[in-house]
Amino acid sequence: MMNMRCLLTVIILFWFSVLEIAWSAEINKDYRLGSGDVIKISVYEYPDLTTEIRVSETGNVSFPMLGEVSLGGKTVAEAERLITQRLNDGDYIKGPQVTLVVTQFVSQKVNVLGLVNKPGIYSLEVSSHVIDLLALAGGVMEVPPAADFATLLHSNGTKVTIDLNALLAGDRTQNHAVTNGDVIVVPRAPMFYIYGEVQRPGSYKLEKNMSIAQAISAGGGLTAKGSETWPAPIVKRRDAEGKEREIDVEGVSLLQADDVLYVKESWL
């Protein structure tokens, strides 16, 4: 049966597809233009001025009557206002109605790495947030399991931790804005290992605040010979120096990442 995270990811992807169809020039007016973007500029009732051009390395474009216009770093709305002002102030056209549309988004990119279904570099077509990029990347992976958090590395060097469960549940405080040069990393979930007298020995995702009993349950429960009390299971855990040591479960309230839980055979 599809689990909650997978279901929510499917829903997010569906709505992303719907929104993608609905995007228009009005929606992308806060997109910041940069080198390599291709834009189409038109002026109402002046078809001869319609120009489709690529933004240069210096952020400039050449427009009829105005010559070089610096648009790099400006939003689409700001670029429209600038061209409108220059046409009006230069007495070329009185009260011009200028429309600018980005036809190829190239300059603004975000890298999505780690346990997502389609990791890669994605172009920002509108003002975007973490959830938008995760949807573009096909959502987080189930096998191997992704962690319950992601890291957003901003291009300015700052770092933000994203609670993925809260994000997928609709918590807007986790849906941070992303900008050009940012990186989103979804790491692998912490794991624990269980073997001995359990139904399904192997490696499992370590859930938050996971107890010994919950870990045994994740492993399918005890076998007919398994013991949860006498003799008690043991936990093998590495210390700060990387040396493995054994701990009786009486001294373990919660499992930690990379713990190995061994369930012994009952003496009775």
Q: What is the pLDDT of residue 3?
A: 56
Q: Angle CA(179)–CA(35)–CA(30) in degrees, nearest 5? A: 45
User: Any idea which of 21-25, 39-43, 93-97, 202-206 has the lowest mean pLDDT?
Assistant: 21-25
**Mean pLDDT throughout 252-268?**
89
Domains and CATH numbers, the chain: 4-13+108-186 (3.10.560.10), 32-104 (3.30.1950.10), 191-263 (3.10.560.10)
pLDDT per residue as tens digits for the range 216-227? 999 999 999 998
pLDDT for residue 8: 56
Whole-number pLDDT of residue 31 = 85
* pLDDT beyond 80 at 19: no
Confidence tier at 15 by pLDDT (50, 70, 90): low
Residues 6+ apart with CB under 8 A from 13: 135, 138, 139
Res. 24: pLDDT tops 70: no
Question: For residues 146 and 115, what is the distance between their CA atoms, to the nearest angstrom?
Answer: 6
Q: What percent of the chain has pLDDT over 70?
A: 89
> Once rounded to an integer, what is the mean pLDDT over residues 187-204?
96
pLDDT of 242 strictly over 90: no
181 is written with which tokens? 């040069």
Q: Which of 27-36, 41-50, 192-201 has the lowest mean pLDDT?
A: 27-36
Give the lowest-confidence range in 7-11, 88-92, 198-202: 7-11
pLDDT at residue 237 above 90?
yes
Q: Which residue has the higher pLDDT, 256 or 15?
A: 256
In the chain, the percentage of residues whose pLDDT exceeds 90 is: 71
pTM of the model: 0.72
